[in-house]
Chain A
Amino acid sequence: MALKTYESEFKIVRDDSKCIACQVCVRQCANNAHIYDAEDEKVYADDSKCVNCHRCVSMCPTKALHIEHTPLQFMGTANWTSSAIRNVIKQADTGGVVLTAMGCDKKYPNYWDRILLNASQVTNPSIDPLREPMELKTIIGKKPDKLEFENKGGKVSLKTHLTPQLELSTPIMFSAMSYGSISLNAHKSLARAAFEYGIYWNTGEGGLHKDLKKYKDRTIVQVASGRFGVNSEYLNTSAAVEIKIGQGAKPGIGGHLPGEKVPEEISVTRMIPAGTDALSPAPHHDIYSIEDLKQLVYAIKEATRYTKPVFVKIAAVHNVSSIASGVVRAGADAVVIDGLLGGTGAAPAVMRDNVGIPIELAIAVVDARFRDEGIRNQASIIAAGGFRNSADVIKAIALGADAVYLGTAALVALGCHVCQKCYTGKCNWGIATQDPYLTKRLNPNIGSGRLMNLLRGWSIEIKEMLGGMGINAIESLRGNREHLRGIDLHDKERELLGIKAAGETW
């Protein structure tokens, strides 16, 4: 056996004075990092197997456990960090691609942290959301250029035909995560929370499980390049349909769910034979132009009898504004933009960490372009990728987004500790796995409650921030960049974001 020349990333520290050898950690770690020795009546650890998911730490009844980044680091340099060296060694060992999951792990500037919000003082009163009404209701869909009314014998009615719209109780939705990449219990949690809170969840590209059809009025069904589970019934068991062109975590590449992760239930839902690889090609093989995209958009509109809005999701890449403009012209009712920090269940680390542009800039340039071209009303803008808190959300809306999609934040609410090992299928939190021993760890009764708590908490905070700005409806903040100021930003960045510098007055 060749010598392994890099050491474990994490160190499992067990406080022997607290360990009662109950073996809860042994049973909870799907990576088999804890081993019970019956002879010694002691639990030992294999550091090399630990992925730092904290499942054992959370479950240990005596709090005897602690996981550390291993103190042993390569000598390295500022640029040759330990992880850079470790990856080169691993690739020299295996000749493979370094796989990872979740969102970008490189320290690019985070613009949310360089944008400050406004508040009212003296000249315009702030509003107390606990005492006065505050509207977060958000309507997604194409808006008409003008409204025409009819007056029939004093009875006024709307003459303009309205295209289908989605109504959200708060400007947040759950983004596409497929059944296959996450468990059915995770889907159940998302669907139920969306249903009860009055927002929408997204099936992702893996089809819709039969048990979730009852949530159809709050479900966005996705059509991606693999077209898994897509038929007319699927398209119609929804509130909206989303065509996925790209994903922020890995723009330009497809997906690959290995056959081992396609058991019976998933095969039925995806409409592919059990045990076969589920391959999503990099492009849609019938879309090579905006005109082709238009054909698919309208094919879906026809198939759903023009009763459902059609979204098109693209990754935020260098030409995002022109692409988004093309998407609107292709007939999309909403453009979803997934930024650099968007997550995934599996991607090559080089793609995740190096491709795309930050969502902040993408929202700003797309919104500005749509306004310039006079098409802003023709489609909603939905932003996705790395929203960590309600302040990120409200800043996105002030930059011009209509609503945001939460992926990672929703998973964290369900228990995810962002260990980034989704692709191993051994998620100890029962989320990114299909192993029946692990999936039952996520109880959808608990999961949906936690998601609703998150939505509630963020909504209250958004109301507080709006009230502080003296605004009583989220609609009045949308694209209202005067409420934002930049700090620690170059002029060009501020120009693209369309915001003044902190200290500048109206």
Chain B
Amino acid sequence: MKRIYISEEYCIGCRLCEIHCLVAHTKSKKILKAFKDEIPKDATAAVLVEEEGHLSFALQCRHCSDAPCIEACMTGAMYRDKKTGAVLHDEDKCVGCWMCIMVCPFGVTAADPATHKITSKCDLCAGQDSPACVANCPNEALVYEDRENES
């Protein structure tokens, strides 16, 4: 499947990926409107930039082939999209038990402190040619490629 790959040597820690991820998951998808009216103050993006010293990289759900979050989810809210292979989250089914948070080895699911439900989970910007973080990374530190089917 097509996955997001990271080149940490070119990540410049600008966090434009986080900003555009938040915008891509609003209704308007317009950056000014999104930040002024739609995105709550303490919202976290589904992509998170990890930084230490001058090293940084942006991490989002790896869409693992043996996803522990799917195993752990008791309601079936965390599921695999049969067509794309992406690991997705159905907020209606989520009961906010946070088992997925507990088992995720990458720490890339986050909950809304108010609703307790999982609100931040990379969906590869379903329906878009390229996820928003990849499309807006100014330095090709994120690329969206199918490397598994490479000859």
Chain A residues packing against B (C-beta within 8 Å)? 18, 20, 22-24, 27-28, 59, 61-62, 435-437, 440-441, 443, 445-446
Contacts and interface: CB of A to CB of B under 8 A. Distances in A.
A20 B139 contact: no
A443 B9 CA distance: 9
Interface in B11-63: 11-16, 19-20, 31-32, 35-36, 53-54
Nearest to B139: A443
A230 B70 CA distance: 60
B13 A20 contact: no
B19 A440 contact: no
Contacts of A435: 54
Given A27-B13, A27-B15, A440-B54, 8 more contacts: A22-B15, A24-B19, A59-B16, A61-B136, A436-B54, A437-B54, A443-B7, A446-B140
Given A22-B15, A28-B14, A445-B140, A440 B31 contact: no
Q: Which 9 A-B pairs have the closest CB atoms?
A: A20-B35, A437-B54, A436-B54, A443-B10, A441-B12, A443-B139, A22-B19, A24-B14, A443-B140
A59 B14 contact: yes
B138 interface: yes
B45 to A, nearest CB: 11
Contact size range, B: 20 to 34
Interface of B: 7, 9-16, 19-20, 31-32, 35-36, 53-54, 136, 138-141
B56 to A, nearest CB: 9
A22 B19 CA distance: 7
B16 A61 contact: yes
Contacts of B14: 24, 27-28, 59
A5 to B, nearest CB: 37
B139 A61 contact: no
A18 B33 CA distance: 10
Contacts of A18: 32
A437 B9 CA distance: 10
Contacts of A28: 12, 14
B4 to A, nearest CB: 17
A59 B138 contact: yes
